[in-house]
Structure 1
């Protein structure tokens, strides 16, 4: 966003919060439907293939780790790639990579190596690129109505996810494993259309006049801020020291750098293009990064293992498909709630809503684990759709509220990188424990404890920030 002056008036370019943004929303819906709708059904889709390839829980969780690190790598390199390709060109490349993984891999896969290469690498690299690009461009087009835009797009995706378990069940019964994958591959090809709709936000920004009152107020605030951080005496000292240094070392500014220094500088520039160093010092160790990544990992792995656990308890395909459908219904209802209550929820705060979702996730998972009755378990699985929606849908909103707009893409990449780290380290460990104990409950208890840890630390952070704001007026009054 920039400011221009025309006919004595100043204008500012702002995000459209509509216009072509609605078409961007359509493109994001298409992209995320094709990449995420069938994730909850992977346990059903690949059930026979897991047996055929002799893959136990350790192998499945390791596959999740490979997928996560591939998606994280793709998410991290979006920024440097956008300097070589336009946003739409990169999106089309991502769609091609994703579809190559699912079409030429999953349909003809007959070994662990080909399965890992196609599903774990190719498809996941495409998925990481598509997800980062979709979230970034939606974040650019919508600022004031961001929560509403995210809620609406995610609601449509949830509506499609509602029918996906029954759709997969019917296809498996009618066409078998390979036929089902062929149909899913045809669906995934539509993300090429979704990426074709992506246009740079600069093409559609609105020109808004800047009132003189706001301009004057902004200048005065900047002047006060400058005086507050660095008084006049400090400024004189800095200017004096800079002048003295310039007199003593007149050629320092124009000195030729050492080749090794230039090489080190090039390496630093290359790394800074991939990873924003400023984010590593602040965002990397925050709950908005570590907490979100750990919660996403726990929810994703729980969802992936749930069908296998239900098969082990003696549930048939129809019961599992029905439970997953009810889960998708509550997920959809929660997304619709976010649409109608977006204004009120915006005042509450995305971080606070996210923590409430984590509490519900912990309660529903423990409730399912503490019961052996199929009806009670189905009720808790149904209720899991509420926190699942919160964890999945609010991720880009929580990140966007934690960093500057120009750092959003890098921040998403960091979250994906942390998500991959948990999948590669904690995931296989949980899978190995499940194989050793022959108990899905043990694995689910460990995953539930991850939610408990995040809830504890994030609650402490929110309480600290709230009390800190309350203390500021008191301190000011004492000084006065």
Structure 2
């Protein structure tokens, strides 16, 4: 090997990364199927356990809190155990909660086992998303698009399988069969190896070496300035409880990322989108739609979602040029437009077309979210950032959900509820655009050292 040549290590963007993608598909498909569980299987459980709407709302809130906290604590826990071992723990929590739910005979036991399962969901999602983010950098958009497309296709067949099992084996038998399927999460976790084992050596030119040295020097200067500015805070945090917090959490990232638009905006959009879809069947019934028309509406939403996932695979190079943030904002604006059409129109055909386009918006909001977070932080901070994102998402869901429900009960109208949700979505989009315009104007007036370099 020529010692005069300089090399850098880059993410594999393939190779073993494709095996990691396969594990991601297995684990996220299992997590996604949770929606099917509640819709088909747990209905009989709720009747048997005499679960009223208040207890169901409480259960959903506790599950959201458990999942969010588990996702948030994933990064601190990785400081004390390897990624794979933590993945095994998450898989064990998920499978233990699911298996024990089969034998739950009381509301308390049902609540406990479901919360344990939600802890597994939060950690599994964070770990697998972080693994894909580490293995794919240049081809990240393509990797996420392929996996999400396969997961969407599997989602079409999962309800049919669950329904067949339910009709032939009942609730408990179906859950036991699902336990046999979800045990494969351990195999999917096994393939998550440290990315440093599979890094590619890429030769760089002397000019690139010089540029890298300049960037490293700039980072050192920036870090030194930050340390000087925060000197007093660090002195206060050196002892006792604050030192433990600093050891466990990335305090600086928590301060900077928690209230940033790439965190607050996408997490709020996911909450709004989910609430919109949850109320949709009842809303369409109030509009005098029959069951067949409602089914068609959901099918068209799924169609728009699936076609967009396929388009992401084909147009991934174009998406890289445009930028994930701009695509995400466009998805928000598309969502606002289609919802306004649905709310203001009485033409069934126009509304059906709007539902199809709404599927495009839902796909962008759910998929590009991960890429927006990845672009907003460094590669070594992604696990902590996605954990913070999940925590903020859980907090927003707990706060906004009851407000929307109370508005619906007070007004006895889904229109008021939907206009509120659409307004929140619009405010996020417009605020984000205004912040981008402001930052661009500020950078033009005061160029940063990175831009000068």
Structure 1 residue 373, shift from structure 2 partner: 6.8
Aligned residue number for residue 26 of structure 1: 22
2:146 to 152, 156, 170: 152
Structure 1 residue 229, shift from structure 2 partner: 8.1
Per the alignment, do residues 54 and 317 of structure 1 end up closer, same or farther by CA in structure 2, a change over 3 Å counting?
farther
SS state at 1:89 partner: helix
Provide the rounded CA distance (Å) in 2 between the counterparts of 1:462 and 1:215: 32
Aligned residue number for residue 118 of structure 1: 113
Structure 1 residue 103, shift from structure 2 partner: 2.6
Partners of 2:408 and 2:417 within 8 A in 1: yes
Structure 1 residue 188 corresponds to structure 2 residue 182: yes
Provide the rounded CA distance (Å) in 2 between the counterparts of 1:296 and 1:138: 21
Per the alignment, do residues 387 and 129 of structure 1 end up closer, same or farther by CA in structure 2, a change over 3 Å counting?
same
Provide the rounded CA distance (Å) in 2 between the counterparts of 1:118 and 1:313: 38
Per the alignment, do residues 329 and 190 of structure 1 end up closer, same or farther by CA in structure 2, a change over 3 Å counting?
farther
Matches within 5 A, 1:177-216: 177-216=171-210
Partners of 1:43 and 1:308 within 8 A in 2: no
Provide the rounded CA distance (Å) in 1 between the counterparts of 2:167 and 2:357: 28
Q: Give the TM-score normalised by the residue count of structure 1.
A: 0.80
Aligned pairs, number = 437
Structure 1 residue 451, shift from structure 2 partner: 0.9
SS state at 1:343 partner: helix
Partners of 2:79 and 2:248 within 8 A in 1: no
Aligned residue number for residue 97 of structure 1: 93
Aligned residue number for residue 378 of structure 2: 404
Deviates more, 1:371-380 or 1:264-273: 371-380
Structure 1 residue 95, shift from structure 2 partner: 1.0
Provide the rounded CA distance (Å) in 2 between the counterparts of 1:303 and 1:426: 15
Structure 1 residue 167, shift from structure 2 partner: 4.5
SS state at 1:7 partner: coil
Per the alignment, do residues 386 and 182 of structure 1 end up closer, same or farther by CA in structure 2, a change over 3 Å counting?
farther
Deviates more, 1:160-169 or 1:139-148: 160-169
Partners of 1:62 and 1:428 within 8 A in 2: no
Partners of 2:136 and 2:143 within 8 A in 1: yes
Partners of 2:75 and 2:387 within 8 A in 1: no
Aligned residue number for residue 297 of structure 1: 271
Provide the rounded CA distance (Å) in 2 between the counterparts of 1:443 and 1:383: 21
Aligned residue number for residue 418 of structure 1: 392
Aligned residue number for residue 39 of structure 1: 35
Partners of 1:296 and 1:392 within 8 A in 2: yes
Structure 1 residue 330, shift from structure 2 partner: 1.8
Partners of 1:64 and 1:427 within 8 A in 2: no
Structure 1 residue 67 corresponds to structure 2 residue 63: yes
Provide the rounded CA distance (Å) in 1 between the counterparts of 2:184 and 2:117: 15
Structure 1 residue 76, shift from structure 2 partner: 1.6
Partners of 1:165 and 1:324 within 8 A in 2: no
Aligned residue number for residue 14 of structure 1: 10
Structure 1 residue 285, shift from structure 2 partner: 1.4
SS state at 2:376 partner: coil
Aligned residue number for residue 431 of structure 1: 405
Aligned residue number for residue 137 of structure 2: 143
Deviates more, 1:47-56 or 1:273-282: 47-56
Partners of 1:76 and 1:275 within 8 A in 2: no
SS state at 1:85 partner: coil
Aligned residue number for residue 438 of structure 2: 464
Q: Give the TM-score normalised by the residue count of structure 2.
A: 0.84
Provide the rounded CA distance (Å) in 2 between the counterparts of 1:221 and 1:109: 57
Structure 1 residue 78 corresponds to structure 2 residue 78: no
Structure 1 residue 447 corresponds to structure 2 residue 447: no
Deviates more, 1:208-217 or 1:413-422: 208-217
Matches within 5 A, 1:350-369: 350-369=324-343
What runs of 5+ residues in structure 2 fail to find an aligned partner? 229-234, 448-453
Partners of 1:18 and 1:142 within 8 A in 2: yes
SS state at 2:145 partner: helix
Per the alignment, do residues 276 and 222 of structure 1 end up closer, same or farther by CA in structure 2, a change over 3 Å counting?
closer
Aligned residue number for residue 390 of structure 1: 364
Provide, for residues 9-61 of structure 1, a one-character-per-residue CA deviation record: whole Å limited to 9, x for no partner: 433222111110010111111111110145377445545555663433x5544
Provide the rounded CA distance (Å) in 2 between the counterparts of 1:321 and 1:468: 49
Aligned residue number for residue 311 of structure 2: 337
Structure 1 residue 129, shift from structure 2 partner: 0.3
Provide the rounded CA distance (Å) in 1 between the counterparts of 2:150 and 2:74: 26
Per the alignment, do residues 440 and 18 of structure 1 end up closer, same or farther by CA in structure 2, a change over 3 Å counting?
same
Provide the rounded CA distance (Å) in 2 between the counterparts of 1:28 and 1:137: 8
Per the alignment, do residues 328 and 443 of structure 1 end up closer, same or farther by CA in structure 2, a change over 3 Å counting?
same
What runs of 5+ residues in structure 1 fail to find an aligned partner? 239-260, 474-480
2:126 to 122, 129, 132: 132
Provide the rounded CA distance (Å) in 2 between the counterparts of 1:420 and 1:51: 27
SS state at 1:282 partner: helix
Structure 1 residue 216, shift from structure 2 partner: 3.0
Partners of 1:37 and 1:157 within 8 A in 2: no
Partners of 2:142 and 2:313 within 8 A in 1: yes
Aligned residue number for residue 232 of structure 2: none
